[in-house]
Each structure stands twice: as structure tokens, then as C-alpha cells.
Amino acid sequence: MDGWIKLHRKIIESTIWDKPPLYLKVWMYLLISAQHAQYKGLKRGQISTSIPDIIEACKWHVGARVERPTKDQVYQVLSFLRKPDGGGHESDTEATMIATTKATHGMLVEVLNYSVYQDSREDESNDESNDETDTKPAREQRQPNNINKNVKNDKNEQEKELKKSSSQKNAKRVYFEDDRVYKLAKRFHELAYENALQLGTSHLIKEPNFQNWADTFRLILERDKIPEVELGEVIKYGLNENFYRTIIFSPTNLREHYPKILTHMRAQQQTKRTGNTPSGKPKLEITTNAGAESVSSEEYELAMQRAREMKAAREREQKEAKYR
């Protein structure tokens, strides 16, 4: 990798300077890796990268041991850089630093105001006089004709990347902490952990992959078309119900058993309201969950219909997966 970028002295006055060292390291990596000119589909100031790429580029050594930032740490840094009040250019702490776009393989990052860091025409005026005066004229920067100095020249590798499927259908999405499905994943983990503490099984709860969890909640909301209010109700019920609380440890388990949990919840709510089973026959010695609200017959039938639709959708999804 060849070339240069400019670094403003006022970086020590910016918001990012007060953050942990990883924030500045990721920011420097994006600045240095960004295209200085348009090249093979990437515009000036853009970089095609991924979370694993950033993790590998920002690793560090502690003696003979190699330490790497976690995915969540990298997401936090990117979220900070994307916010309007995230720190901006070092001389303008209110500007946005980057914009990100989900891509088929990883993400597309654009360094906003990239010319500030690259163009020699944007040189800062040195208001603080120095003892030494440089009287030599600035040397004109040489611009390559058709190759970027910041990109590897391995054409085979570039061609392999370009030949990869551009289908957005199979693209792996990246979720940030302010995404609603990521928040759902975090909240579910909190509730599941509290449930495990009550059961004395907290040692079985492992640190989740919040990206996978967030994607499962996206499927529940978008593909299964589950209302978010109902989803929250089912989660609370399932984690308090004597049987389901022992088998729901992840959003995948929740999605798998969702039709049964919803139907069971509606049935108990209807029984509490009428004292009868959905068929109209009396049911004796029924025990309902505390806090369960009563529902009408129409709501119960709606829950049954949704359960059937979810089952059919899951079967279609499994068939499609076989032919991918």
C-alpha cells in the first residue's frame, strides 16, 4: 500500500480523541484504505470491506499474543462514525464521518469529505508560525492513469470478487446497535439470562452472536409477518411458561416453536375469560399463567390461522434452501 493522507492537528480536539484507542484505529484504517480515485466500481473516498476485514486490520500484539477487537466493538465504532454528532472531520466536530451501505459481500463504506484528507489543494493554513520556512514549491501529486495506489494489483483476485454473486437475496446483512432487530436481540438475551438465573441454568447461556439473532428477528417480523407487539407478548409468555421457558434459549428456538407458544397462550387467555375450552366443553382444574390476559374467540381463531400460515412459510423456506 502506497500514498498518503492528511491528518488535521485539531483531531486532538475532536470527539473521537476522547474515545478508546480502537475508535481512532478503525477511523485511520478507513481513511487509509479508501479509494483516492474512481476504480472498478468504487468511487473516490469509498472502500469495500467487511467486519472480519476490519477486525483483522485493527488487531494488535500483546507480547507474543495477538488480540483482536470483537464484532460488537467494531459495530459500536461504526455506529459512532455514522452518527451526525459522531465527531466528523477533526476540524468540524458536528459533521458525519462515514456513510455505510449493505453489500452482497460485506459493506460499502464512504468517507465523507474525503477531499479534506487527500487533496493537496486543501492544505491547512499554518496560523501558528514555525521557526523553519519552507520556500520550496509544493510538488504536484502524480496521479496514475488506470490503477489505484491504494489497491492490490492482483487482477485474478479482483476478477474473483467481481464474479461473486451480486444477488441481494443471499447477501449477509449487517446490523447496528440502533437497528430495532438488534435491540430485540439484546433484550431477548437479557430476558433469557434472567430466566436462566431463576432456573439455576445461567452457566448454559453462552455469549450470543447478536448479528445472527438480529437476522432471525428480522425474519420473524418481515417474512413471518409477526406484529412486533404480539412478538413481545409471546416472548414474555414463553419465558414465564413452565414448559416453554425450558426450551427457548435463542430466537431460533423461539421462531421454531412460535406457532405453538402463540396458540397455547391464546388458548389459556380464552380459558381464563370463559372458563371453557375453545370447543365449548368445560375444562376442570385449569392452571393459567399469572398476568395472562383474556382474549375473544375471534382472537383465538386469528392466532390459529397465523400459526398455520407460519408453518406453511417455514416449509416453503426449507424447500427453497435445498435448491440454493
Assigned C-alpha cell, 135? 520556500
Task: Return the top range by mean pLDDT from 227-236, 264-273, 306-315.
Answer: 227-236
pLDDT at 192: 85
Assign 63 to helix, strand or coil: coil
Is the model's pLDDT at 243 over the cut of 60? Answer: yes
Average pLDDT of the segment spanning 22-26: 93
Count CA within 13 A, CB hemisphere, residue 200: 0
pTM: predicted TM-score of the whole model, two decimal places:
0.41
pLDDT at 121: 57
Is the model's pLDDT at 301 over the cut of 50? Answer: yes
Please, are residues 49 and 40 in contact by the beta-carbon 8 Å criterion? no
- Cα-based torsion angle of the residue sequence 260, 262, 263, 264 in order, rounded to the nearest 10 degrees: 80
pLDDT at 7: 80
Average pLDDT of the segment spanning 99-116: 84
Average pLDDT of the segment spanning 268-287: 59
Q: How confident is the model at residue 255 (pLDDT cuts 50, 70, 90)?
A: very high
Closest residue by Cα to residue 305 from 262, 252, 244? 262
User: Which DSSP string corresponds to 12-34?
Assistant: GGSGGGGS-HHHHHHHHHHHHHS
Q: How confident is the model at residue 323 (pLDDT cuts 50, 70, 90)?
A: low
Q: What is the pLDDT of residues 138-154, one digit of tens each?
A: 444 444 444 444 444 44
pLDDT at 138: 47
Give 282's strand partners.
Answer: 276
Comparing 103 with 55, which gets the higher pLDDT? 55
Closest residue by Cα to residue 51 from 100, 84, 114? 100
Q: What are phi and psi of 60, to 5 degrees?
A: -145, 165
pLDDT at 86: 45
Task: Using a pLDDT cut of 90, give the percent of the chain over it.
Answer: 22
Is the model's pLDDT at 20 over the cut of 70? Answer: yes
Distance separating alpha carbons of residues 322 and 252, to the nearest angstrom = 19
Q: What is the pLDDT of residues 172-216, one digit of tens each?
A: 688 888 888 999 999 898 888 888 888 887 777 667 888 899 999
Distance separating alpha carbons of residues 72 and 216, to the nearest angstrom = 17
Q: How confident is the model at residue 90 (pLDDT cuts 50, 70, 90)?
A: very low
CA 277 to chain centre: 44
User: Which DSSP string corresponds to 174-226?
Assistant: ---TTSHHHHHHHHHHHHHHHHHHHHT-GGG-PPP-HHHHHHHHHIIIIIS--
Q: How confident is the model at residue 279 (pLDDT cuts 50, 70, 90)?
A: low
pLDDT at 319: 75
Write the burial class of residue 55 (CB in 10 Å: 0-12 exposed, 13-18 middle, 19+ buried).
middle
Is the model's pLDDT at 284 over the cut of 60? Answer: no
Q: How confident is the model at residue 103 (pLDDT cuts 50, 70, 90)?
A: confident
CA 217 to chain centre: 12
Please, are residues 6 and 117 in contact by the beta-carbon 8 Å criterion? yes
How far from 60 is each of 31, 47, 66, CA to CA, in Å?
19, 22, 6
Assigned C-alpha cell, 310? 407460519
Assign 55 to helix, strand or coil: helix
